[in-house]
Structure 1
């Protein structure tokens, strides 16, 4: 059975890039001063994937490496001006949407996206339990109405996407990735990339699905560390890979592999969660990770002379 044609089918901006120049990815996300998530995570990830990040700040997160305390909105006109100024000058190849701050921020970003419908959009929905209930409900409703219809792929944790897409779900079993994709498709979204699906035997599944069923995915071994910024890392990596014109099923497998290795090489900069190392591959051959990383060195042979990361033991294909 042939793999489905899951990439953009129209002429894309990736074809317009000057020979040898990196594809440009515009990311809309909050500024997180801890560097664990948000726009900082997007910039690092997109750069690590060989693309050029065009960061548009949508809000300011007040947080540390353990938790989010609050956020401050940025005027929607300022969001639009940031993006429009760059878009009048630079050809982009894909979008990444993260936390947009508020319903007004969502509306502002959706207005921009509506002018570039042929460019693939990767949307990430984080857990926003730290928001007050009214603000969270307004945000999710605006996201459902304005961002989902433009999304090529919606990325999120299994529980977060279940609460968002199937809030009335009351079956004893959790919904499948396909059932979440069916719910997303009702709002115009093409695919869902569902992470953290619990499996027996200490594994979790990560599944790309359409309303017709599972398309691609990887299983990871479950481990104890609490990570910060994994979702932003995965979605930004996927946007960067799609910017090169890669088919979606292949791009998802590559993005998941990148995330897995970034998590395994993660480090703890403070007293909270572990931050993915988006530049794990940059260590010279034979050099050991710095003190504080969570990698078990016994599972990682040295890199070869080409500086290519070795196959990773935590991936189950």
Structure 2
């Protein structure tokens, strides 16, 4: 009998986007493209297209809990990716689920994409998104904010680097600060992402590495979901944090280079292109 290879699984809590560009569909595609398998639990149904969000309807927390219980004792989970929570109640339920997994697997990676609004600035929670996301931030091993999200997560007039270090220390986890929104005159042709690492023994946050990528001038739908999901999948495959961040960013860059059109407005990252990525983009 033919032996079947087992894929590592990534548990995903995220919202559903009917345009197929962001949210849980983006997560599933990105995770699958790395050679891992997504276990998707939908947190919210949204009314949106590839440009704007009109409404958000959180899924009942009890249903989400039942889905988690069904998976917990039957399928090994190698990593967790968290997107929009939809409501404070859902965030609290998700945090409880993650805490249970962390009690069993203290080293399980938990990637939180702190989506505080759509790319067009529309709300993605029925309550204040900053308040709603707090329970899951406390579960994170890596948070992936963009510059506007960082500004909401850490208030004040400090530089972005100082804010990122504060965020790292506040939640005792690593931070990947995405520079895609930093299109100043100085950075019109490039995107710079910074990895801030939490050093538990020294209780200090430090800049571990930076990456510079050519800036692609188009607007895209679902880039943050794609990156966070790809990182989670690489970690589920057993790669180190540094390698996972590098490979996932390279993957997203190719997704954006080959993005496609579904309607006027934001492009959709092409999350599948040719062969699997393990040997292509390192």
Q: Same fold (TM over 0.5)?
A: yes
Q: Indicate conservation of the 8 Å contact 1:265/1:276, yes or no.
A: yes
> In the alignment, does 2:169 pair up with 1:180?
no
Name which of 233, 245, 249 aligns with 1:240. Answer: 233
Partners of 2:274 and 2:89 lie apart in 1 by: 39
| Alignment gaps of 5+ in structure 2 | 198-203
Contact 1:153 1:189 (C-alpha < 8 Å) held by counterparts: no
Post-superposition CA distance 1:187-227 (Å, at most 9, x none): x3411111126362521201111253222332122232000
Structure 1 residues 112, 280: CA separation in 2 closer, same or farther (over 3 Å shift)?
same
Q: Corresponding residue for 1:149?
A: 138
Q: 1:208 aligns with which of 195, 198, 207?
A: 195
Q: Which of structure 1's runs of 4+ aligned residues deviate more than 3 A? A: 306-311
Bigger-Rg structure (1/2): 1
1:170 equivalent in alignment to 2:178: no
State the partner residue of 1:314. none
1:73 is displaced (CA, Å) by 1.2
Which digits, 9 at most, give the CA deviation of each residue in 1:269-301, with x for residues without a partner? Answer: 112211111112349xxxxxxxxxxxxxxxxxx
Number of matched pairs: 263
Kindly state the Cα deviation for residue 131 of structure 1 after the two structures are TM-superposed.
2.1
Contact 2:53 2:123 in 1 (8 A): no
- Residue 83 (structure 1) aligned with residue 68 (structure 2): yes
User: For residues 249 and 281 of structure 2, what CA distance do their matches in structure 1 show?
Assistant: 15
20 and 126 in structure 1: CA distance in 2 versus 1, 3 angstrom threshold: same
1:308 to partner: Cα distance: 5.9
Counterpart residue number, 1:195: 178
Q: Is the 8 A contact 1:28 1:98 kept in 2?
A: yes
TM-score normalised per structure 2: 0.86
What is residue 131 of structure 1 aligned with on the other side?
Answer: 123
Aligned to 2:200: none
State how far apart, in whole Å, the 1-side matches of 2:226 and 2:45 are. 18
User: Does residue 35 of structure 2 align to residue 43 of structure 1?
Assistant: no
Per the TM alignment, residue 248 of structure 1 is displaced from its structure 2 partner at its CA by: 0.4
SS at match of 1:78: helix
- 3-state DSSP of counterpart to 2:32: helix
Mapping for residues 1-317 of structure 1, pairs under 5 Å: 20-117=5-102, 118=106, 119-128=108-117, 129-131=121-123, 135-137=126-128, 139-144=129-134, 146-164=135-153, 166-167=154-155, 169-171=156-158, 174-176=159-161, 179-186=163-170, 188-196=171-179, 198=182, 200-201=186-187, 202-210=189-197, 211-282=204-275, 309=280
Structure 1 vs Structure 2 CA RMSD = 2.4
Question: Secondary structure at the residue paired with 1:115?
Answer: helix
Q: Tell me the distance in 2 between the aligned counterparts of 1:184 and 1:68.
A: 30
The alpha-carbon deviation at position 249 of structure 1 amounts to 1.0
Cα pair 1:227 1:276 within 8 Å, conserved: yes
TM-score, normalised relative to structure 1: 0.77
User: Cα gap change, 1:266/1:107 in structure 2, threshold over 3 Å: closer, same or farther?
Assistant: same
Give the superposition deviation at 1:263: 0.7
Conserved 8 A contact 2:83-2:113: yes
SS of structure 2 residue aligned to 1:237: helix
